[in-house]
DNA sequence: ATTACTTTGTGAATTACTTCACAAGCATCC
DNA sequence: GGATGCTTGTGAAGTAATTCACAAAGTAAT
């Protein structure tokens, strides 16, 4: 299958969230045009995005909501259960350990790690903070799919290296640094400073 | 000046963060090639990004680190102080109210709002939660530049409408929904579910 | 002052992404 | 069952973003 752009995947996520809302309202079908309006895009874009994976619509009618919803979940690999570990038990890590949204979407948080002696043994919900040195050994047993990295800038490169060595193929990065990984590992970075700077840029360059 | 792509702005942010690190290490100059390596891009990309705003380098030498750093801060509109209000005093809103990173970068958090009677009057750091109904009146006095929206999905559209009516031109959206605003308002959305789904997609479609 | 070497800045070429536009399919009505 | 109306799926066209490739400008060494 040919390469799918990240922007496409983001839109698929978005469509799915709309479909779930619409499904709850009990509507049975939806057109590419309505989906486009919800997502701030064009109907052609919606159809092209979906057509990369198959033809799910009926001409003249649109898309059956539960059907398309199911297909998108399938495409996005939801439905599978992914095993997640959190690395870094600071403020963000702790907040994530308490976050309900993971389990709701089939992401099972299995462990939380830190380097800091003082934090090891602390409990967050049902998880006890473990030393990062155990990561690789644990991974051999537990087969983590995703590492959520929430460490300070300095320790991040080393932590990422360990995660990669442990065979983890997807990283959600909250550390305020760029991370480098082999090409078979996927990274998504969430960086407050970068988002704020983007807004600052937009504000500074309005109307010229 | 011509339209700058969001991807370009993201890279500028990234370059700036590298330069700040390099400045601390005391290095005086850097080449587009080194910046590219740090940022996981190409030297041509770096040069093109910068050339959109001027010519900051010296042929044969590279870029003077403090100089380029200063220019990027200028381009990104840092240095100005931006006035920020947080809307939504739930978990995320509360965490953001305590977050030090805003002030460090010149973003002054001035107020936090909520609809919920029970939350109004609560204190986070130096801020007291105010009723959202006061937003517009406050904005007339305080001239907010940025609203950070951290509300549940249902209440978000109404809240965003109020923020727009209050004259706010930039929104950082943590609510798990798409928000629609007039074209002179800039929005950046941070959505955990969407990031996780992106990783799930990548994991599901490896090696084909 | 000439030569050798480095690295920028930028048009041109390429690649990626989006939008257009329309034939084909399906439902409904008369 | 033919005509009408609607909406998909998709090549082709159009934009946008990235990479190539090289002249121009600088440094350093002799």
The stretch B34-45 carries a mean pLDDT of 97
The stretch A179-201 carries a mean pLDDT of 96
The stretch A8-25 carries a mean pLDDT of 97
The total domain count for chain B is 2
Through-space separation of residue A3 CA and nucleotide D21 C1' in angstroms? 27
Buried b (16+ CB within 10 A) or exposed e, A84-94: bbbbbbeebbb
Same domain, A86 and A71: no
Domain span at residue B32 reads: 6-75
Task: Judge contact between B48 and B57, C-beta under 8 A.
Answer: no
Same domain, B101 and B186: yes
Which of strand C's nucleotides are less than 7 A from any protein C-beta? 5-11, 16-21, 24-27
Pick among B84, B146, B200, B205 to test the A interface (most A CBs inside 10 A)? B200
In a domain, A140, yes or no: yes
Check whether B206 has a pLDDT greater than 90.
no
- Nearest-CA distance from A117 to chain B in Å? 24
CB neighbour class for B11 (10 Å; exposed up to 12, middle 13-18, buried from 19) = buried
Check whether B208 has a pLDDT greater than 70.
no
The CATH number given to whatever domain includes residue A150 is 3.40.50.720
Same domain, B90 and B178: yes
Same domain, A53 and A125: no
Q: Helix, strand, coil proportions of chain A in percent (round to 5)?
A: 45, 20, 35
The stretch A168-191 carries a mean pLDDT of 96
Give the residue nearest to nucleotide D11 (CA to C1').
Answer: A48
Q: What percent of chain B has pLDDT over 70?
A: 99
The stretch B132-158 carries a mean pLDDT of 96
- Cβ <8 Å between B13 and A197: yes
Check whether B32 has a pLDDT greater than 90.
yes
Query: Among the three residues B25, B57, B75, which one is the final residue of a domain in this structure?
Result: B75
In a domain, A12, yes or no: yes
Cα(B196)–Cα(A102) distance, integer angstroms: 9
Check whether A21 has a pLDDT greater than 80.
yes
Residue A63: CB less than 7 A from any atom in strand D: yes
Same domain, A63 and A159: no
Question: Higher model confidence: residue B207 or residue B142?
Answer: B142
Same domain, B17 and B67: yes
The stretch A172-185 carries a mean pLDDT of 95
Check whether A208 has a pLDDT greater than 70.
no
Complete edge-to-edge strand list for the sheet that includes strand B107-114 = B123-124, B127-131, B107-114, B82-87, B146-149, B170-173, B186-189
Mean pLDDT across chain A: 95
Query: Among the three residues A31, A56, A75, which one is the final residue of a domain in this structure?
Result: A75
Query: Pairing mode, if any, of strands B170-173 and B186-189?
Result: parallel
Q: Taking CA atoms, what residue in B is nearest to A181? A: B40
**Residues 6 or more apart whose Cβ sits within 8 Å of residue A131:** A113, A114, A115, A120
Same domain, B26 and B86: no
Q: What does the pLDDT read at residue A54?
A: 96
What the block records as the tokens of B151 is 């509300």
- Nearest-CA distance from B70 to chain A in Å? 14
Q: Helix, strand, coil proportions of chain B in percent (round to 5)?
A: 45, 20, 35
Check whether A95 has a pLDDT greater than 70.
yes
The CATH number given to whatever domain includes residue A60 is 1.10.10.10
Task: Judge contact between A194 and B76, C-beta under 8 A.
Answer: no
- Nearest-CA distance from B21 to chain A in Å? 10
In a domain, A208, yes or no: no
pLDDT tens digits along A101-151: 899 889 999 999 999 999 999 999 899 999 999 999 999 998 999 999 999
Buried b (16+ CB within 10 A) or exposed e, B55-83: ebbeeeebbbbeebbebbbebbbbeeebb
Task: Judge contact between B139 and B87, C-beta under 8 A.
Answer: no
pLDDT tens digits along B44-76: 999 999 999 999 999 999 999 999 999 999 999
Same domain, A10 and A53: yes
CA-wise closest residue to A16 among A49, A44, A60, A43: A49
Cα(B43)–Cα(B58) distance, integer angstroms: 15
Same domain, B86 and B154: yes
In a domain, A203, yes or no: no
CA-wise closest residue to A87 among A41, A38, A32, A138: A138
**CA distances (Å), B24 to each of A151, A176, B98, in order?**
20, 16, 27
Q: What does the pLDDT read at residue B160?
A: 98
Same domain, B96 and B62: no
Q: What percent of chain A has pLDDT over 90?
A: 94
pTM: 0.94
Same domain, B64 and B86: no
Q: What does the pLDDT read at residue A142?
A: 87
Query: Among the three residues B75, B95, B121, which one is the final residue of a domain in this structure?
Result: B75
In a domain, B203, yes or no: no
Check whether B43 has a pLDDT greater than 90.
yes
Same domain, B190 and B87: yes
């Amino acid at each position: 299958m040919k390469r799918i752009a990240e922007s496409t995947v983001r839109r698929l996520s978005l469509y799915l969230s709309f479909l779930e809302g619409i499904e709850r309202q009990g509507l049975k079908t939806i057109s590419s045009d309505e989906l486009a309006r919800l997502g701030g895009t064009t109907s052609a874009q919606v159809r092209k995005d979906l057509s990369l994976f198959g033809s799910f619509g009926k001409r003249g009618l649109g898309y059956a909501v539960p059907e398309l919803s199911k297909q998108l979940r399938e495409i996005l690999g939801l439905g599978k259960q992914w095993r997640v570990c959190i690395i870094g038990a600071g403020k963000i890590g702790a907040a994530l350990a308490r976050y309900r949204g993971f389990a709701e979407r089939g992401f099972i948080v299995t462990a939380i790690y830190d380097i800091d002696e003082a934090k090891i043994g602390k409990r967050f919900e049902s998880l006890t903070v473990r030393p990062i040195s155990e990561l690789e050994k644990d991974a051999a047993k537990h087969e983590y799919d995703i590492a959520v990295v929430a460490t300070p800038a300095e320790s991040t490169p080393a932590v990422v290296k360990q995660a990669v060595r442990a065979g983890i193929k997807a990283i959600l990065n909250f550390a305020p640094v760029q991370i480098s990984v082999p090409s078979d590992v996927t990274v998504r970075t969430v960086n407050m400073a970068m988002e704020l700077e983007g807004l600052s840029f937009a504000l500074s360059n309005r109307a010229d």
